[in-house]
Structure 1
């Protein structure tokens, strides 16, 4: 963490001001640096930060409620705590957070109910979103604001998957300040707990941002925007240019981007997909990574993503027979084919375990990865890629 502070001090401080802590996920992600960059490109661009703090985009308290509901439905205790902290700091009513999972309509505004129902449906596997839910949220928000809300829910797809599958430890400060709000709902840190948390006293919950707190973010903005420009340089921020760019760099245009209008999000996805499909930085290799993607698409039942992965498989010389075998493996509890090497078997087993929500990465999966001498970078890469696909899965679930 000390090295990260030296390299990205102002960026990490900006995150601390937004959610009260520097997340423990950062050192895990830096094991495979593309993961850290993916995370730090995704979050500010999908949440329209820092501009959302001053009211640009969808109401931040509503977005916070939606992200919390999505995290609880995905079974991620880590993100449930962080989204509680985020929502409280953006002015959400603590009682509304506490009651969010009870299915009660009383006490919520129509726009809050609409956003929460979309979040709940998009986070479930398989996705349960109905046309009626799309219509209802459209009654209360413009298409531009709906897109910001859906982007927040999709962003949590990435974060829910990564934190849950890796089992990142929750920060004591986060637990102390949100416990009084969500512990009565059945929430607990679960696998994200530390020994200290057993006797951790509650702290007062965070209040909504004051004007002075928002002002304190201003000195950090130039550095954050400069880093973002560095990471996203050269990537188009509109369709069809971004589709052509990705087709050239990855072999697929990822057509879901044609449904989006917010330039920051379009460019961010372009960067994220390009970097995660860069052969030069891959620890597992792109042919195997495409198979990981096919496992995920099969588990969640996303035919559009499965087609993208098959197209990428052709580009990387993965035979149709092998892809069919991967689909069969993903949809069963069988072992990978005996002809596959130990490393590839471990990667596919990890992918299948990480793909459901919540993930089922148990001791047997961890032991398989160890026995195959799968590197830490490979593990982080696989989980990051699945997390990226879960973000795309939720976008496809709404717009596809």
Structure 2
């Protein structure tokens, strides 16, 4: 055989997934390495997602995905009936994904099931959710969650006081946070899957075509027969099995607990220690971490900040990861995160001048320019990653570095949803000092919002009246 001829970019499918396909880790290898994680995801979705093979190109990405999902979906409490109803969880995931415009996540979220009953239980209901007010399947509480999920998934966020008040009329603070965290998880997944252009699994595509196409769902970039037929033929030969029985499920749950314990071994276990760790690593304690009620989720957010963005364990420089998040936060019109990431980028070695220049798309070439171009394209909804961005990334970054950048921007997408829901009136003291010094040069707002406290106060009054 002669030397391998690479497909010219102009003849390739214009997705990052296609460019990274030769480097994806096989399903068999993933099951061997992470069997409990793989079986749990399959239990809820009905398939092992293709995306997991791409996250494992940079193994820390697989770890982050694997700890985010159970924590933000409140597994297994929600599945045991101790949180919001599982069908509400699925509804929020689905509506947020449709609002953002990610066909891959929409198809998955519509059929999200439970640890105990398996997938698909909400498909019949979810297929009507985009027209919820014209049918009798959804009550006022559901409509409040639908309207919130629709608004928070838009970029820039369209969450208003009325969305928060409507949630407060129907849900306790704990249940409201469960809804918010479900939508927040999709901020990570929507950005990751859409910027990659992930290929839908054969079984999920079949279900989506059956249930979702009447609501104008289309696979778009997530399935093109000319490029993806072989993947689907391989999917058909894969036995994803039946719902796990009680004994197998118990073993899987024990394996998940052990996996999470190991994955988060470097993160403090109590709030006071978590805040100390954040201050030591970042130089300040983000107020949104302190606001989170669940300690397990505080730990996962801290993992994302400390072990993914702030860590130099990967090959992408720390300042550049924060800088691309700064670009994305600015594009998302999130003043709090723009200030946070600017502070972190400068603290890691960036200059204010370099950061300011990154805010304007350019035709420059090079590693930094390729990363910034990707940030501009990935920070909109749906993501606008095309041939130019793919060419830049594949020219200057290795496959694992590309996944590292995808994870960084997806963390920003996740934080954008949470902080847009719970705006604050003032920066943390360290950030306020930074904004006073560099704010004008970087276009940072003197204060993040002007209505954060009033939102919380009005929501508290609504709940008090309802009680």
Same fold (TM over 0.5): yes
Contact 2:105–2:190, Cα closer than 8 Å, also in 1: yes
Matched, 1:335 2:363: yes
Matched, 1:393 2:416: yes
Matched, 1:357 2:381: yes
Counterparts of residues 70-109 of structure 1 (less than 5 Å): 70-86=96-112, 93-102=122-131, 104=133, 106-107=135-136, 108-109=138-139
Using a 3 Å threshold, how does the CA distance of structure 1 residues 114 and 237 change in structure 2: closer, same or farther? farther
Counterparts of residues 233-382 of structure 1 (less than 5 Å): 233-237=265-269, 239-327=271-359, 329=360, 333-336=361-364, 342-370=366-394, 372-382=395-405
Q: Provide the residue aligned with 1:66 in structure 2.
A: 92
Matched, 1:136 2:166: yes
Counterparts of residues 25-174 of structure 1 (less than 5 Å): 25-86=51-112, 93-102=122-131, 104=133, 106-107=135-136, 108-174=138-204
Q: CA deviation at 1:179?
A: 2.1
Question: Whose Rg is larger?
Answer: 2
Q: Deviations over 1:317-367 (max 9, x none)?
A: 21121122123x1xxx4335xxxx611111111111111111111112112
Matched, 1:193 2:223: yes
Using a 3 Å threshold, how does the CA distance of structure 1 residues 63 and 227 change in structure 2: closer, same or farther? same
Equivalents in 1 of 2:122, 2:44: separation in Å?
A: 17
Q: CA deviation at 1:231?
A: 1.2
Q: CA deviation at 1:90?
A: 6.6
Q: Provide the residue aligned with 2:212 in structure 1.
A: 182
Q: Provide the residue aligned with 1:206 in structure 2.
A: none
Q: Give the secondary structure class of the aligned counterpart of 2:212.
A: helix
Q: CA deviation at 1:275?
A: 1.4
- Please provide the CA RMSD for this pair: 2.4
Using a 3 Å threshold, how does the CA distance of structure 1 residues 45 and 322 change in structure 2: closer, same or farther? same
Q: CA deviation at 1:264?
A: 1.4
Equivalents in 1 of 2:57, 2:391: separation in Å?
A: 20
Contact 1:236–1:242, Cα closer than 8 Å, also in 2: yes
Equivalents in 2 of 1:17, 1:285: separation in Å?
A: 37
Q: Give the secondary structure class of the aligned counterpart of 2:199.
A: coil
Equivalents in 1 of 2:303, 2:346: separation in Å?
A: 22
Equivalents in 2 of 1:251, 1:28: separation in Å?
A: 32
Q: CA deviation at 1:395?
A: 0.5
Equivalents in 2 of 1:158, 1:170: separation in Å?
A: 17
Q: Provide the residue aligned with 1:11 in structure 2.
A: 37
Contact 1:46–1:264, Cα closer than 8 Å, also in 2: no
Equivalents in 2 of 1:51, 1:239: separation in Å?
A: 21
Contact 1:252–1:311, Cα closer than 8 Å, also in 2: no
TM-score (normalised: structure 2): 0.77
Using a 3 Å threshold, how does the CA distance of structure 1 residues 114 and 215 change in structure 2: closer, same or farther? farther
Q: CA deviation at 1:377?
A: 1.3
Q: CA deviation at 1:295?
A: 0.8
